[in-house]
Chain A
Amino acid sequence: MTVEIGVEEIEDIALGATVLGTGGGGDPHVGKLVAKQAIEEFGPVELVHPDELSDDAFVVPTAQMGAPTVSVEKLPSGQEAVDSLERIERELDQEVDATMPIECGGINSTFPFAVAARRGLPVVDADGMGRAFPELHHETFNIYGVSGTPAAVSDERGNTCLIETEDNEQLEWLARGVTVRMGGVAYVSDYPMTGTQVKDTAIPGTMTLARNLGRELRVAEDDAMDAIRDVTRSSIYGEAQSLFEGKIVDVQRRTEHGFVFGHVDVDGLGRDEGSSMRIEFQNENLGAQVDGEYVATVPDLITVLDRETGGPIPTESLRYGARVRVLGIKTPEIMRTPAALDVWGPHSFGLETTYKPLEG
């Protein structure tokens, strides 16, 4: 069954992406507006499940990369990611059948819909992170053997840089450098793949999940927790569980190498009275401990909700006194294999614990 994504669905996906962004992933605001205007102008976009792709379909994901401070000032022309996509088409001499997000949390959850609207392409209901992560090799595509290149990076002037590398870490490294020369923000098409590769490596159904989360959150008002539970129960993720309830009593942040590191301490309220939780973050939430014992870590989702409004709170907005509920969501098996944990398990982010898989 194909689903049409219009302006209202984009609003929902952007809101749901704040739950899946686990505190980071960038503000979805700009991505949402770009997608809304493109859909208003070119019409709604078809969302197709990976199972509906033919095995030899040609799929090229699209995304924005770069400095958040530049991306809120030099907004895209809208043509950039189309240019990079078409450069890949020329390089591989094949017409693209669909585009796909590389992550389902934060800003890049909605960008591909603008590309799709302009090119009249469908968007694949899947992504390569299953949440938000900071770098281009944090991808199931990379973990399960898809080459990130040929990749193309484009700017608003019409410049495009084609990148071919030995491995996907080199792609991340070179693409960052090109992005700086393009004025701090650029648009990338990478990990070109077949329908079979999408089915084997992508995390399926994440756009529908984001959309359902957003839609239910919008109408839920008081019962945000119930809404998130209901939506996750019928997904490939585990049913969301309340890890902790309490009041934020301390927030520590420091910026290094363009990332925000730190932790937040929460004193228990209600059934958690007498206990305390610490959540460590690097842009996204990485691990949660109750009284010194880890109860959840990456790659499982740890999301902080406002206890009163139910809205997800991004890491940069956490502050003393906020009443919060901390959610844990078990990720699908494809995100927690030994190969996946090598790339984005607790050790790769410097947490001193082994992976504590959430059940449920």
Chain B
Amino acid sequence: MTDYRIGIDVGGTNTDAVVMNSDDDLLAKTKTPTTEDITTGILNALDVVLDDSGVSEEELEYVMLGTTHATNAITERRGLNEVGVIRIGAPATQSIRPLLEWPDDLADAIGNNVAILDGGHEFDGRTLNNIDEEEIREQVREFADVDAFAVTSVFSPVRDDHEKRVTEIIREEIGDDVPISVSNEIGSVGLLERENATALNAALTNVAEEAATAFVDAMDERGIDANLYFGQNDGTLMSVDYAIRYPIFTVASGPSNSVRGAAYLSEVENGIIVDVGGTTTDVGAVTEGFPRESSVAVEIGEVKTNFRMPDIIAIGIGGGSIVDTEGEVTVGPQSVGYKLTEKAKCFGGDVLTATDLEVAAGTIDIGPETPDVDQSTVEAAREYVRERVEREVDRMKTSAEPVPVVIVGGGSILVPDEIEGASEVYKPDHYEVANAVGVAIAQVSGEVDRIYSLDEMSREEAIQSAKDEATDNALAAGADEDSVDIVDVEEVPLSYLPGNAVRIKVKAAGALDH
């Protein structure tokens, strides 16, 4: 029998893991400290859950990893590639050079190699300017020492010929090994945001490869021969190879996993999710079991991108938040973070944290000490937290109707059981490992991105054909036939092509087959 799977979530403070069977029952769970090298923490968590569940390594069919290594690499400017950033669009676009709005240290970290060359298209696919092959070759040779390339052409989501040709020239000049990120595979219309995301992706391929290799090696070390996946921004899974090519698609997997996990554990398909961590509380919304997406540009490491990202409001309240009792009692945003076991009073430290208040009140039992805090302080702090959470929950709602609210995460105890505007408050079993559950139940997907001629078939037939093919791709990736759904359809009319052409992108997703 190989019917089990493990979901692992590597957070800034804790590495969580769960073992689930093919009926999605949770058999074992653990929360262990995240380690500097990440792999040790993963192995520690793995050993605990395998031991507790009695499941052997051979019985594992899938292992899913949710990680923030890519996000951390950007925020800490660590391990980033030197990138050759090539924009195709001159004479247009020269008034804003690539990376102009990036923080200086981040632009420096990727080498600040930028060029704007002739080419690009109009919104309707007409040629804006022809590319100059010799100019491209010269520029690529000048960038010969970079670790990776990022190629962005004006209106490439409508027409990608120029990006394709530049990619071929880079291959001819530099070789087959250098990673190349092309913008039409990464983002949508909005040149600067798409270029930014493409450059960040190119900067991350090395970090992604290291993380993927560490993950694969860790599994080998334990003799695990399962299918390995990474969680991605939209709450679906991607293969290890894909994760190395498109690391930017992992940066928001954490919040997606927690929303999906919370929805699954509470059986709430539509409502508000409150994930209370060590330093911050993320408030998000779940719609039909999936995270609601943000409608505004999302910043990653202070750089604007145009990804579809979960709509999340973060507030500075968590288990490690420092409680200020001078004057009116406040909680956070300062936090002891991962040093909770060193600094918090319940662990013998000298900082009063949100966790200490609950230990003092007797609602939880953590650490060797019981701090002496009077009841009025505990009440005042709880009221402070309640008000902040209530306000953000209200902001996430789309109407005044009361909605279900689900509380998850290690610091869930901080949030009271009654919240204004909530029809009901859920703190489901296993709430503390909702992230790991979220990645363990994540779906696999299949995509199609193709140009159809509407002279040869009707629009409906074209979309149906794309849907069928995306479904087949999802099935081939391991999705269960009954659970496959079309999750995204995007249609771009290409009036420059004869024959009434349209570019159709479809994504299908479904649960892993067992």
Q: Which one of A33, A78, A79, A249 lies within 8 Å of B101 (CB-CB)?
A: A33
A78 to B101, CA, bound (A): 17
Query: B22 contacts the other chain (Cβ, under 8 Å)?
Result: no
Residues 302-349 of A at the B interface (beta carbon under 8 Å): 317, 319-323
The complex places the Cα of A73 from the Cα of B295 at a distance, in Å, of 18
B264 at the interface (CB under 8 A from A): no
Interface pair A75/B394, CB less than 8 Å apart: no
Kindly specify which of B87-95, B203-211, B497-505 makes contact with the partner chain: B87-95
Determine whether B513 belongs to the interface, using a CB cutoff of 8 Å to chain A: no
Contact of B154 among A36, A38, A74 (CB under 8 A): A74
Cβ contacts B387-405/A at 8 Å (1 or 0 each): 0000100111111100000
Known: A36-B100, A74-B154, A77-B92. A317 touches B296 (CB 8 A): yes
Chain B contacts for A43, CB-based, 8 A: none
- The distance from the CB of B321 to the nearest CB of chain A, in whole angstroms, is 19
Rounded to whole Å, the gap between the CB of B129 and the closest CB of chain A is 7
**The one of B91, B101, B126, B190 that contacts A77, using a Cβ cutoff of 8 Å:** B91
Bound complex: CA A78 to CA B120 (Å): 17
* A322 in contact with B395 (CB, 8 Å): yes
CB of A260 within 8 A of chain B?
Answer: no
Interface residues as binary, B332-368 with A (CB distance below 8 Å gives 1, 0 otherwise): 0000000000000000000000000000000000000
A-side contacts of B391, CB under 8 Å? 323
Contact present for B100 and A73 (CB under 8 Å): no
A75 near B123 with CB under 8 A, answer no
A-side contacts of B93, CB under 8 Å: 74-77
Q: Contacts of A247 on B, CB cut-off 8 Å?
A: 394
B312 to chain A, nearest CB (A): 14
- Over the window 163-186 of chain A, the binary record of Cβ atoms lying under 8 Å from chain B Cβ atoms (1 yes, 0 no) is 000000000000000000001100
- Name B275-310 residues within 8 Å CB distance of A: 295-296
Chain A hits for B399, CB < 8 A? 250, 320
For B396, the chain A residues whose CB sits under 8 A away are 321
- Bound-state CA distance A90–B16 (Å) is 71
Q: Is B48 an interface residue (CB 8 A)?
A: no
Interface size on A, residues (CB 8 A): 32
Would you give the shortest CB distance from B70 to chain A, in whole angstroms?
25
A79 to B92, CA, bound (A): 9
Closest A residue to B393 by beta carbon equals A321
Chain A 141-169: CB-based contact to B (< 8 A → 1; otherwise 0): 00000000000000011100000000000
Known: A183-B123, A183-B128, A322-B395. A69 touches B92 (CB 8 A): no
Cβ of B442 under 8 Å from chain A: no
B97 on the A face (CB < 8 A): yes
Instruction: Give every chain B residue within 8 A of A98 (Cβ-Cβ).
Output: none
Does B225 sit at the interface, judged by CB under 8 A? no
Which chain A positions have C-beta within 8 A of B122?
Answer: 74, 183-184
A30 at the B interface (CB under 8 A): yes
A317 to B294, CA, bound (A): 11
Q: Are B398 and A320 in contact (CB under 8 A)?
A: yes
B189 near A30: Cβ-Cβ < 8 Å: no
Interface membership of B509, Cβ < 8 A: no
Known: A183-B123, A317-B296, A320-B398. A72 touches B95 (CB 8 A): no
Would A73 and B95 count as touching, CB distance under 8 A? no
Q: Tell me which residues across on chain B come within 8 A of A351, comparing CB atoms.
A: none
Do B190 and A37 have beta carbons less than 8 Å apart?
Answer: no
A74 touches B89 (CB 8 A): yes
Q: Select the residue from A38, A74, A76, A322 with max chain B CB neighbours within 10 A.
A: A74
Q: Complex Cα distance A322/B394, Å?
A: 8
Residues of B163-192 at the interface with A, using a CB-CB cut-off of 8 Å, are 189-192
Contact for B189 among A72, A79, A249, A320, CB less than 8 A: A72
A70 close to chain B: CB less than 8 A: yes
From A35, which residue of chain B is reached at the shortest CB distance? Answer: B95
One of B95, B97, B126, B397 near A114 (C-beta < 8 A): B95
User: Is B1 on the interface with A (CB-CB < 8 A)?
Assistant: no
- Which chain B residues lie closer than 8 Å to A75 at the CB level? 89, 92-93, 95-96, 191-192
A34 at the interface (CB under 8 A from B): yes
Contact partner of A156 among B92, B123, B155, B400, CB < 8 A?
Answer: B92
Task: Check A249 against B400 for contact (C-beta < 8 Å).
Answer: yes
Chain A positions within 8 Å of B91 at CB level: 77, 79, 156-158
The reply to whether A74 and B92 form a contact with Cβ atoms under 8 Å apart is yes
Once bound together, how far apart are the Cα atoms of A37 and B395, in whole Å?
37
Could you mark each residue 430-443 of chain B with 1 if its beta carbon is under 8 Å from any beta carbon of chain A, else 0?
00000000000000
CA distance A184 to B296 in the complex (A): 23
Partner of A38, one of B95, B128, B190, B192: B95
How distant is the Cα of A114 from the Cα of B193 in the complex, in angstroms? 21
Query: What residue of chain A has the Cβ atom nearest to residue B154's Cβ?
Result: A74
> For residue B189, which residues in chain A have a CB less than 8 angstroms away from its CB?
69, 72-73
A322: chain B residues within 8 A (beta carbon): 395
CA distance A250 to B192 in the complex (A): 32
Contacts of A69 in B (CB 8 A): 123, 189
Q: A30-B96, A77-B94, A78-B95 are in contact. Are A72 and B191 (CB under 8 A)?
A: yes
Contact with B along A55-76 (1 / 0, CB 8 A): 0000000000001011011111
In the complex, which residues of chain A have a beta carbon less than 8 angstroms from the beta carbon of B400? 249, 320
User: Considering only CB atoms, which chain B residue lies closest to A320 in the complex?
Assistant: B398
Contact of B397 among A34, A74, A158, A321 (CB under 8 A): A321
- A75: nearest chain-B partner, CB-CB: B93
In whole angstroms, how far apart are the Cα atoms of A189 and B100 in the complex?
27
Q: How far is the CA of A75 from the CA of B123 in the complex (A)?
A: 12
Task: Across the interface, name the chain A residue whose C-beta is closest to B296.
Answer: A317
Q: What B residues does A76 contact at CB under 8 A? A: 92-95
- Which residues of A (84-116) have their CB < 8 Å from a CB of B? 114
A219 to chain B, nearest CB (A): 20
12 chain-A/chain-B pairs, Cβ below 8 angstroms: A33-B100, A69-B189, A70-B123, A72-B190, A72-B193, A74-B128, A75-B93, A76-B93, A77-B91, A156-B128, A321-B396, A321-B397
- Known interface pairs A37-B100, A75-B96; 19 further A-B residue pairs with C-beta atoms within 8 A, sorted by A's residue number: A33-B95, A33-B101, A37-B96, A38-B95, A67-B123, A70-B123, A72-B190, A74-B123, A75-B191, A76-B92, A76-B94, A77-B91, A77-B92, A156-B91, A157-B128, A183-B123, A317-B295, A319-B398, A321-B395
**A-B residue pairs, 5 tightest by C-beta:** A78-B95, A321-B395, A156-B92, A75-B93, A183-B122
**Chain A contact residues, CB within 8 Å of chain B:** 30, 33-34, 36-38, 67, 69-70, 72-79, 114, 156-158, 183-184, 247, 249-250, 317, 319-323
